[in-house]
């Protein structure tokens, strides 16, 4: 597969319309996902941060109103109860929850494919997102979590406050990690993965 970073465009892209949200919410509820933090997902986010050498990484489930970081890695290992903004750039507190119009994961969910933003400021469609100025995000690497039913449950992502040259290696890492997590989630249906 070829490496294709997001291409700059000349207009701001609003949060994309998510036609699959109702099916995703039903699937997340059936799997018991997206309502609470889980140690297994936090451990996965820790490993993703280590592999990608970033200060922040998330396992993110998205419903009709918000994003929920069921797995979260921060530099201090905290839960971010005080807010992601305070951690990154002193902006508004978002904790484990974030509005759907913040960040880049909603774009990954709708696109159904990985998104590589080496410097979000190079892309007008993403540079205007609130996480850039309000929270301090400069670099993003994310991939969708597509389960065996074909539904995109959410994303895994790595985030930095500095530009990052992810390259093809970064793309392959995030896609591989997403596939690994999907396998773990699918075990949940068969009773193989303990919840929480």
The span from the CA of 4 to the CA of 194, in Å, is: 36
Residue 41's domain spans which residues? 21-189
pTM of the model: 0.83
* Model pLDDT, residue 140: 95
Three-state DSSP state, 84: helix
| Residue position matching structure tokens 């759907």 | 100
The span from the CA of 103 to the CA of 114, in Å, is: 14
The span from the CA of 91 to the CA of 131, in Å, is: 9
163 assigned to some structural domain: yes
2 assigned to some structural domain: no
Q: How many domains does the chain have?
A: 1
105 assigned to some structural domain: yes
122: domain CATH number is 3.30.450.40
112 assigned to some structural domain: yes
Q: What is the pLDDT of residues 103-117, one digit of tens each?
A: 899 999 999 999 999
Beta strand residue intervals within the chain, DSSP E: 56-62, 66-73, 97-99, 115-117, 139-146, 152-160
Q: How many residues does the chain have?
A: 196
Q: What is the pLDDT of residues 136-152, one digit of tens each?
A: 889 999 999 999 999 99
97 assigned to some structural domain: yes
């Amino acid at each position: 597969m070829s490496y294709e970073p997001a291409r700059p465009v000349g207009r701001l892209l609003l949060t994309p319309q998510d036609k699959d949200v109702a099916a995703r919410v039903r699937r997340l509820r059936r799997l018991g996902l997206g309502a609470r933090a889980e140690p297994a997902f936090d451990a996965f986010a820790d490993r993703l941060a280590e592999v990608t050498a970033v200060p922040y990484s998330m396992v993110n489930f998205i419903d009709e109103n918000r994003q929920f970081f069921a797995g979260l890695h921060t530099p201090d290992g905290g839960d971010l109860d005080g807010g992601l903004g305070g951690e990154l750039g002193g902006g508004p507190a978002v904790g484990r929850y974030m509005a759907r119009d913040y960040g880049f994961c909603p774009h990954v969910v709708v696109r159904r494919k990985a998104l590589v933003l080496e410097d979000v400021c190079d892309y007008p469609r993403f540079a205007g997102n609130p996480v850039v100025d309000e929270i301090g995000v400069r670099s993003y690497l994310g991939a969708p979590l597509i389960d065996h039913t074909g539904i995109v449950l959410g994303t895994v992502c790595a985030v930095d406050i500095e530009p990052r040259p992810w390259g093809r290696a970064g793309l392959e890492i995030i896609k591989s990690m997403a596939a690994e997590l999907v396998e773990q989630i699918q075990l949940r249906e068969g009773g193989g993965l303990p919840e929480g």
